[in-house]
Structure 1
Amino acid sequence: MEEQRADVPWRWHGPPWWSNASRSSHLPWRSTLLFTVFVVFGTHVASVNQKSDRAHLDAFAYILLLVASGALLWRQRYPVPVAFVTAAAATVYLGAGYPYGPVFLTVAVGCFSALVAGRRKAAWAAVGMFWAGHVLVSHWLYRWLPPAGDSATSWGGELVIAAWVAAIVAVAELVRVRREQWARERAERAQAARRRADEERLRIARELHDVLAHSISVINVQAGVGLALLDSDPEQARTALTTIKAASKEALGEVRQVLDTLRTPGEAPRTPAPGLDRLPELVEQAASAGLTVTVEGGAPKLAPATDLAAFRIVQEALTNVVRHSRSRQARVHVDNAEGALRLRIDDDGPATGADAGGSGNGLAGMRERATALGGTIEAGPRADGGFSVLAVLPRKASSHELIERKEDV
């Protein structure tokens, strides 16, 4: 049924220009009822003091009062028609010579609602129509309209009415601008929350990828060794199984730590995040996978975020060597000079030519980590057939990162 409607070329899609679809479907019954009572009762009281000057209230007068005030029930849903209905009803009421009174407030409320809803042209047109009708009746048509013997309104009174209209328009414009500012602020806060949520998802995805890719690579290699030596060298197969157990235990611990941050938001992690001080553990794990790693340089004192990123970059680089290189040797060079941490991980290759189940997320994750800290990553094959990863990370947080942290707070 919906597809058939969509095929009709003349069908109007979206809300009409004279409506306000962003408003709630709830109708303001109470406020409209109270306002209607006020208008009718106030006009009746005002007529007592104007018996000799204006026409007496009759059924048509009360109908105009009810139409003008009752139309305000739809002022939030259809602000444009309401503005014109109130202006037209008040103009006819004025032309019929009925007593002056609160009926003119219906025009103010109707045009105010249209201005606040952003229908400025329609609101100005309704105000202009009422103003022109008032001038026409008060200074020209009064000769032929009731009550008999009526005189022209002074121009001083016109100035009072003009000031009254200008005040209503100014207040309505102020409310409209303020509401637009609130809407923009809410949208900006929602966008910032979505951005933080996206960044957190990316961070968790990188952590899980780095932990699982490294550990599962070690488990995969050791499982192959264990299967190959199970009959010929049971002791070596036992060693491989022991390595699998240790790697899986460590992976489970780190995955549990990442998941704990999701279960307990706002709390500090129960165990410290890994850093370059755990390089010896990486070397041992790589050795259990048949990769000899040489480390040059010591682990400097770094900020937690930089320390974690440096550890994960080295971990992912060594994992890639195990999975994608025929080389059984790798070198990790740590250089802490000129306010920046330089990490270089090299292997002599050649590449295996198989992705070993890799999806390319490892290099992307390393680049994301470095970029988030204001650093850089360069990775690619060397001329001699090996592969090199060079990471440059600032030891201190960049000004951009500090600004983001202040905004988050």
Structure 2
Amino acid sequence: MHGAHAGAAQRLPWLTTLALTAFVQIGTGFAAHGQPGRADLSPLARVLLLLATAVLLFRHRHPAAVAYTTAGLTLVYLGAGLPYGPVFLAVAVACFAAVVAGHRRAAWEAVGGLWAGHLLLAHWLYRWLPPGDDGARPWGEELVVAVWIVAIAAVSELGRLRAEQWAKERAERARAAERRAAEERLRMARELHDVLAHSISVINVQAGVGLALLDSDPEQARTALTTIKAASKEALGEVRQVLDTLRTAGEAPRAPAPGLDRLPELIEQAASAGLTVDVTTEGVPAKLPPGMDLAAFRIVQEALTNVVRHSGSRHARVLVRHAGATLTLRIDDDGPATGAEAGGSGNGLAGMRERAAALGGTIEAAPRQDGGFRVTAVLSLPPGRDPKARTAPREDQ
């Protein structure tokens, strides 16, 4: 809220102040014709009216001082026996600005002081003030003044509440933008982790093979180096695709995000790292939303990467089961765990769980009783989305 007022304080409200000044000057001129008992609208009256509205130009920068000043000038105007009119409007605007800016006490002191001063002028001091033939004001008029004060108070409080609500909404939008930015950073970090972890694991394995066979089997070492080149090229392409989203906000990716339709490529990469993978598909494949399709692909990719890194088994099995609106992924290896340091960050399982949780799904990862390891992911289509068949059930071995 303070930030909004600080921004407003940099700009003087020229247009509204000029409009209010003209209204008060013209309105008081018309009102003076119906008050023969009051003094004429003299140059002094014009000057006092001008001052009372001119100070409103600074109502955003110095709201409390402007509220006191307009109330004081209005009281001087009334004490001079000048015609009643819309001069009270200047006080109303000043007090409104003060309340909205958070200076409620100053606003009420200004209004209260003006009312008390008006009571003294209208029912006691009028004997010694111009015009000389002016009598005490009817007490009924004080009721009208009281109604005006209540109206000013109500409108000012409503304005204050509305300003606070706007400030709160702006703060909430700012926090929401920060959350979206944080979520986007997390998404990109997770995406980069999954891309790099898999490719670098393949490169790590093939580099070891190449080094071991460099002298004894140069041809096999050449094959390992070829695999390293292909894996690094693909990793660079996927990293570039992820980073392209940073270049222009809202720009569509240059290439479609990977999904389960790219499982054959993933199996080939795993095979180049010495891992044989059998894939079984059950049920009628549904048309998955892009985000869910990407998450499913990355979960399988990360699970196979962990097999390459941490398992002594060179064989893994992937089950993709479509059951209505539910997609189940199960990745098994026969173990045992090698316990070797493979250079991973340790964030693979956490990343898989985050992907599943973002889609309202679950991940279970635990050793099997026979010594292997199993990762099971259960993902669900968004509510109200009907699965649409893409292909007939198949068995891939």
TM-score, reference length from structure 2: 0.82
Q: Which residue of structure 2 aligns with residue 186 of structure 1?
A: 170
Matched, 1:376 2:362: yes
Once the two structures are TM-superposed, the CA of residue 75 in structure 1 deviates from its matched residue by 0.7
Q: Which residue of structure 1 aligns with residue 78 of structure 2?
A: 94
Aligned length: 380
Partner amino acid, structure 1, of 2:335: G
**Aligned residue among 293, 300, 307 for 1:321:** 307
Q: Which residue of structure 1 aligns with residue 339 of structure 2?
A: 353
2:91 and 2:255 map into 1 onto residues whose CA distance is 67
Q: Which residue of structure 2 aligns with residue 27 of structure 1?
A: 12
Partner amino acid, structure 1, of 2:95: C
SS for the counterpart of 1:379 is strand
Q: Which residue of structure 2 aligns with residue 239 of structure 1?
A: 223
Contact 1:55 1:146 in 2 (8 A): no
2:298 and 2:258 map into 1 onto residues whose CA distance is 8
Once the two structures are TM-superposed, the CA of residue 173 in structure 1 deviates from its matched residue by 4.0
**Aligned residue among 300, 313, 330 for 1:344:** 330
Q: Which residue of structure 1 aligns with residue 286 of structure 2?
A: 301
Matched, 1:201 2:185: yes
Contact 1:55 1:147 in 2 (8 A): no
Matched, 1:53 2:45: no
- Mark the runs of 5 or more structure 1 residues left unpaired by the alignment: 1-14, 401-409
Contact 2:52 2:74 in 1 (8 A): yes
CA RMSD of aligned residues (A): 3.3
Cα deviation code 1:4-34 (max 9, x no counterpart): xxxxxxxxxxx9xxxx646432333565466
Matched, 1:159 2:146: no
1:385 and 1:80 map into 2 onto residues whose CA distance is 77
Q: Which residue of structure 2 aligns with residue 225 of structure 1?
A: 209
Matched, 1:72 2:56: yes
SS for the counterpart of 1:390 is strand
Once the two structures are TM-superposed, the CA of residue 94 in structure 1 deviates from its matched residue by 2.1
Matched, 1:214 2:198: yes
1:336 and 1:52 map into 2 onto residues whose CA distance is 93
| Greater shift in the superposed pair: 236-245 or 301-310 | 301-310
Partner amino acid, structure 1, of 2:101: A
- Mark the runs of 5 or more structure 2 residues left unpaired by the alignment: 386-397
Once the two structures are TM-superposed, the CA of residue 232 in structure 1 deviates from its matched residue by 0.5
C-alpha spacing 1:161/1:366, structure 2 compared with 1 (3 Å): same
1:327 and 1:206 map into 2 onto residues whose CA distance is 26
Q: Which residue of structure 1 aligns with residue 321 of structure 2?
A: 335
Matched, 1:280 2:264: yes
Partner amino acid, structure 2, of 1:318: L
C-alpha spacing 1:33/1:276, structure 2 compared with 1 (3 Å): closer
Once the two structures are TM-superposed, the CA of residue 292 in structure 1 deviates from its matched residue by 2.3
Q: Which residue of structure 2 aligns with residue 363 of structure 1?
A: 349
Contact 2:267 2:277 in 1 (8 A): yes
Identity of aligned residues (%): 71
1:253 and 1:72 map into 2 onto residues whose CA distance is 62
Contact 1:53 1:147 in 2 (8 A): yes
Contact 1:373 1:398 in 2 (8 A): no
SS for the counterpart of 1:189 is helix
2:317 and 2:212 map into 1 onto residues whose CA distance is 28
C-alpha spacing 1:21/1:268, structure 2 compared with 1 (3 Å): closer
Contact 2:316 2:334 in 1 (8 A): yes
Once the two structures are TM-superposed, the CA of residue 45 in structure 1 deviates from its matched residue by 8.0
